Structure 1
Amino acid sequence: MPDAPKTQHRSVRVPDDDWADLETAAKKQGTDRGTLIKEFIAWYLRRPKAKLPKRPEH
């Protein structure tokens, strides 16, 4: 199957304003929301070599 994702799609509830602000902040850092969320989860779970994502400047 072409373009098959390596991970399963997950759903979470996030307020619209937070979701939009996260997209804006991620783009300013040259990344995307999904990447930031996965990095945070890895850090939170203390996965080897995981680092807390850098927070955006105000």
Structure 2
Amino acid sequence: MVSRAKDTHTTNRVVRIPDADWDDLGKRAGERNRAHVLRALLAWYLRRPGAELPERPPAPKDPTGA
């Protein structure tokens, strides 16, 4: 059952994302920007008019030196 959202909000959806990936997304996109990145990816994937891939952050430095 899907919960009812306020008229000013979208309905919450359950998506299973591994904790490590969720944490990394928060570090790179910003804790409060994860939803923005996910919505942009979804719009791009669905080929919505004007949708573009969100800008990716720089690659993290490899601690092993590889």
- TM-score bucket of the superposed structures, by smaller chain: 0.7 to 0.9
List structure 1 runs of 4+ shifted beyond 6 angstroms.
none
> Where do 5+ consecutive residues of structure 1 fail to align?
none
> Where do 5+ consecutive residues of structure 2 fail to align?
1-5, 60-66
Q: TM-score, normalised by structure 1?
A: 0.81
Q: Which has the larger radius of gyration?
A: 2
- Aligned-residue Cα RMSD (Å) equals 1.3
1:25 and 2:28 correspond: yes
Greater RCO (Cα-Cα under 8 Å, separation 6 or more): 1
Greater share of helix residues, 1 or 2? 1
